[in-house]
């Protein structure tokens, strides 16, 4: 076919199919057609740039949450560290539930959430973390669990926070050989200067339990400097005491239960199991030796063990089992399971306070699990006074264990409310209670604001959905959609047993739900069903997507009608998805399918906290989807993430809310929705967004190399070596036009508006 040439007058240029005067007035039209041309030449997809937003207000019972969107707390370990290098200690919370880090800056005596500092910390942190300055340079280093012992990371900060691994497994001299200094994953050791010689020593329970080992740091003795880690096995039973299952025996003459009490025989001793203990070594009576505060998985109180010896020869002489109760009627610590003590200044007065949390990842109190005792004494002679059972926790959204959010307009006022399911609230009785929390949007169409009006929406905590046991279900995961064609959205909830339960909406303007069918259509996906109701195949009928514990997703097409949904076909392994597959049937997939500019995108939360992003879904329901990102925009909010996407501020750009295992929520606003002109080039090595742009260009790369930006004349305007990750380049000072960007052998283009 011959194509007729089009010639424009001298003062006009041909753009697309028009002759236009090339001036600033028509610049936007020019860029539109450039984008159009690029779109037909490149494989395009929609992309949202999500930005963390903590400004949306949330309240409960007329009290505002100061740190609403921080992400919750379960089993956290607090530490002091100077995050911004201003000479003032800030606060960082490590939560062993999902290995989640929550940094706070100390700004004028007030804690300000600062998630940007998470990236400075290694992904080696898990189970327990202790910040302590081992080399006496005034900077807090990191001691954390390593398989069979302790890993150490040195604080190498100069102009910004940074750490380098010193050793992945700390050794100790046992006399004949150096072997790993053993610390259990469920214990927390005491890392402190036990002998008062200027370097850090370690107390930890022996591998058989019962006795505390003393590993002495010989750095000062060997080198005259603390800038080394040279441990030797000094004593097998520091303090001469034995910890039984529910009691302590003192004045032991040797490391054997038989020497402590005739009641303990070799037979009974062999049956004792060391399942978890926490140690904190501080001087509480100002006698220049370390006493010991000890928590254990076997009881709910803290025990103060008084050192009646000295720094060289410790000897536990007395035990206070109601610590830190005092003459001011301060109550003793009482954590339902496995209390853990921490000594740090959180009241901004320069004096260390006592913070007590749980060290249990499950089955312990997770709603009032951070007890604060302010110190009105000194660091070596403290006087602890009870302040709160939910320090910091009371200032953030915390729904117990697990948070599964869904946007839903429950009162039909065109404002997006939020319904959040959870695994449950743990309690002393052991009968966990799951529920639905309802956050009513009391803001406007352009500015959301939320009021937590109930933690038991639908009264689901009192409905016996577990038919076999005739008890309420656990792990309630909500989904909404009109399944009976009456014009309002019904409710389906998944549970821990992999079942679904159907509630009809019988309300008018205000949604009101009634249980219609438990064990809906006998659907069973194994464990931890996470449903979404959406028209997957675009046939006008609402279908089901269900995530589960394995990490895969099931697709159940609606084979019924708009007024009578029928889900009698289950298609497993939807899209070939298996998130966190390395964890062997522990992916905990939570799917959320969303239409972006007419194209389906699938976001999936997971066990590790990674958010997986897929496209190539439409017309490919029986095939494997395209993985765009395994850690979407480097968003990591803790383990067992679940998400929902919806435009809540009427800017035509979807926003995202994320729940996690700690029972908290994080909110991210969508600040860019574009059709990208550049897909990953050459096997997805380079992604640019947004495009066109007028201020910032975001780059996602999978290779290391030099990023270069050239104008259309080939002139080099920018050059910088980048590592494989996400980057933001400020292009606001570049004139409007077309630019070429290169990464090693990969080339793409973008438009500056």
Supply φ then ψ for residue 682, to 5 degrees. Answer: 50, 70
23 vs 666, higher pLDDT: 666
Q: According to the model, what pLDDT value does residue 86 have?
A: 96
Q: According to the model, what pLDDT value does residue 44 have?
A: 44
Q: Around Cβ 462, how many Cβ atoms within 10 Å?
A: 10
- 255 — pLDDT class (breaks 50, 70, 90): confident
| Inter-residue long-range contacts of 624-629, CB under 8 Å, 24+ positions, other chains counted | 624/575, 624/576, 625/575, 625/576, 625/577, 628/45, 628/601, 628/680, 628/684, 629/700
> Using CA of residue 529, residue 532, residue 533, residue 535, what is the dihedral sign?
negative
Q: What is the mean pLDDT of residues 183-198?
A: 95
CB 248 within 8 A of CB 305: yes
> Is the pLDDT assigned to residue 224 strictly greater than 70?
yes
The percentage of residues in the chain with a pLDDT greater than 70, rounded to a whole number, is 86
Least confident of 124-138, 266-280, 483-497, 700-714: 266-280
* 374 SS3 class: strand
| Tokens 């062999």, residue located | 270
What is the greatest pairwise CA distance in the chain? 109
The percentage of residues in the chain with a pLDDT greater than 90, rounded to a whole number, is 68
- 15 — pLDDT class (breaks 50, 70, 90): very low
Q: Are strands 190-192 and 201-205 parallel, antiparallel or unpaired?
A: antiparallel
Q: According to the model, what pLDDT value does residue 251 have?
A: 85
CB 478 within 8 A of CB 404: yes
Between vectors from CA 679 to CA 676 and to CA 684, what angle results, nearest 5°? Answer: 150
Residues 6+ apart with CB under 8 A from 664: 69, 70, 71, 72, 73, 396, 397, 398, 399, 403, 638
* 541 SS3 class: coil
Q: According to the model, what pLDDT value does residue 23 have?
A: 47
Least confident of 336-350, 629-643, 738-752: 738-752
Residue 752: how many CA atoms within 13 Å on its side-chain side? 20
Q: How many Å apart are CA 343 and CA 300, to the nearest integer? A: 19
Which tens digits make up the pLDDT trace of 669-710?
998 655 443 333 333 456 676 677 776 777 766 667 788 888
Q: How many Å apart are CA 554 and CA 546, to the nearest integer? A: 5
Look up residue 319 and give its DSSP letter: E
Q: Which letter, b or e, does each residue of 350-362 get, where b requires 16 or more Cβ atoms within 10 Å of its Cβ? A: eebbbbbbbbbbe
Q: Are strands 178-180 and 190-192 parallel, antiparallel or unpaired?
A: unpaired
Which tens digits make up the pLDDT trace of 459-505?
999 999 999 999 999 999 999 999 999 999 999 999 999 999 999 99
* Among the listed residues 672, 686, 699, the one whose alpha carbon sits nearest the alpha carbon of residue 753: 672
Q: How many Å apart are CA 588 and CA 224, to the nearest integer? A: 52
Helix (H) or strand (E) holding 306: strand 302-307
Q: According to the model, what pLDDT value does residue 708 have?
A: 85
> Is the pLDDT assigned to residue 100 strictly greater than 70?
yes
- 583 — pLDDT class (breaks 50, 70, 90): confident
Supply φ then ψ for residue 211, to 5 degrees. Answer: -115, 145
| Tokens 């080394």, residue located | 228
Residues 6+ apart with CB under 8 A from 628: 45, 601, 613, 614, 615, 680, 684
> Is the pLDDT assigned to residue 430 strictly greater than 80?
no
> Is the pLDDT assigned to residue 313 strictly greater than 50?
yes
Per-residue DSSP letters for 251-303?
A: --SSSSHHHH-TT--HHHHHT-----EEEEEE-SSSSSS-EEEEEETT-SSEE
Q: How many Å apart are CA 741 and CA 720, to the nearest integer? A: 12
Q: What is the pTM (predicted TM-score) of this model?
A: 0.82
Q: Around Cβ 559, how many Cβ atoms within 10 Å?
A: 12
């Amino acid at each position: 076919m011959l194509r007729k040439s089009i010639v424009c007058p001298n003062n006009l240029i041909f753009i697309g199919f028009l002759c236009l005067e090339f001036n600033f007035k028509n610049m936007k039209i020019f860029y539109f057609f450039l984008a159009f041309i690029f779109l037909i030449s490149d494989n395009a997809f929609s992309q949202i740039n999500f930005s963390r937003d903590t400004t949306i207000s949330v309240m409960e019972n007329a009290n505002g949450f100061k740190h609403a969107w921080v992400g919750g707390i379960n089993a956290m370990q607090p530490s002091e560290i100077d995050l911004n290098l201003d000479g003032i200690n800030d606060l960082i919370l490590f939560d062993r539930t999902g290995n989640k880090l929550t940094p706070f800056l100390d700004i004028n005596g007030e804690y300000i959430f600062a998630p940007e500092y998470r990236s400075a910390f290694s992904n080696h942190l898990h189970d327990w973390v202790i910040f302590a300055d081992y080399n006496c340079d005034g900077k807090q280093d990191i001691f954390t669990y390593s398989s069979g012992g302790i890993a150490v990371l040195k604080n190498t900060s100069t102009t910004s926070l940074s750490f380098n691994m010193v050793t992945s497994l700390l050794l100790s001299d046992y006399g004949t050989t150096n072997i790993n200094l053993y610390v259990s994953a469920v214990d927390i050791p005491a890392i402190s200067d036990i002998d008062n010689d200027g370097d850090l020593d370690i107390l930890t329970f022996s591998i058989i339990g019962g006795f505390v080992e003393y590993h002495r740091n010989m750095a000062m003795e060997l080198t005259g400097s603390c800038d080394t880690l040279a441990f030797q096995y000094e004593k097998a039973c520091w303090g001469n005491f034995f910890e039984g299952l529910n009691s302590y025996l003192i004045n032991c003459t040797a490391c054997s239960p038989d020497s402590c009490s005739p009641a303990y025989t070799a037979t009974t001793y062999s049956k004792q199991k060391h399942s978890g203990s926490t140690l904190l070594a501080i001087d509480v009576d100002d006698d220049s030796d370390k006493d010991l505060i000890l928590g254990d998985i076997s009881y709910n109180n803290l025990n103060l063990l008084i050192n009646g010896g000295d720094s060289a020869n410790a000897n536990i002489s007395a035990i206070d089992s109601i610590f830190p109760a005092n003459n001011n009627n301060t109550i003793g610590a009482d954590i339902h399971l496995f209390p853990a003590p921490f000594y740090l200044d959180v009241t901004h007065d320069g004096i260390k306070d006592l913070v007590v949390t749980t060290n249990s990842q499950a089955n312990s109190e997770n709603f009032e699990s951070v007890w604060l005792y302010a110190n009105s004494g000194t660091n070596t002679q403290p006087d602890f006074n009870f302040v709160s059972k939910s320090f910091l926790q009371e200032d953030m959204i915390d729904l117990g264990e697990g948070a599964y959010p869904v946007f839903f307009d429950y009162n039909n006022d065109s404002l997006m409310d939020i319904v959040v399911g959870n695994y449950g609230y743990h309690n002393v009785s052991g009968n966990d209670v799951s529920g639905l929390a309802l956050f009513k949007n009391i803001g406007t169409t352009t500015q959301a604001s939320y009021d937590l009006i109930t933690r038991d929406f639908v009264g689901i905590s009192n409905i016996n959905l577990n038919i076999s046991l005739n008890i309420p279900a656990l792990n309630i995961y909500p989904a909404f959609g009109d399944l009976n064609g009456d014009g309002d959205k019904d409710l389906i909830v998944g549970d821990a047993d992999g079942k679904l339960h159907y509630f009809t909406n019988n309300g008018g303007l205000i949604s009101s739900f009634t249980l219609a069918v438990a064990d809906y259509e006998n659907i069973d996906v194994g464990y931890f069903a996470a449903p979404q109701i959406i028209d997957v195949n675009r046939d006008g009928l609402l279908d089901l997507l269900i995530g589960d514990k394995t990490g895969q997703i099931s697709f159940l097409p609606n084979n019924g009608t708009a007024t009578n949904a029928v889900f009698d076909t289950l298609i497993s392994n939807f899209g070939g998805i298996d998130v966190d597959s390395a964890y062997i049937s522990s992916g905990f997939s939570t799917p959320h399918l969303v239409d972006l500019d007419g194209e389906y995108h699938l976001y999936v939360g997971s066990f590790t906290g990674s958010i997986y992003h897929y496209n190539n879904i439409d017309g490919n329901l029986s095939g494997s989807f395209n993985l765009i990102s395994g850690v979407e925009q480097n968003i990591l909010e803790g383990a067992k993430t679940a998400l929902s996407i919806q435009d809540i501020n009427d800017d035509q750009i979807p926003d995202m809310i994320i729940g996690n295992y700690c029972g908290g929520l994080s909110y991210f606003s969508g600040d860019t929705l574009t059709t990208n002109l550049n897909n990953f080039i050459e096997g997805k090595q380079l992604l640019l967004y947004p495009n066109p742009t007028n201020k910032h260009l975001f780059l996602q790369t999978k290779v290391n190399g030099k990023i270069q930006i050239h104008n259309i004349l080939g002139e080099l305007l920018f050059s910088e070596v980048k590592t494989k990750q996400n980057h933001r380049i400020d292009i606001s000072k570049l004139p409007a036009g077309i630019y070429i960007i290169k990464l090693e052998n990969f080339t793409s283009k973008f438009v500056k508006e």
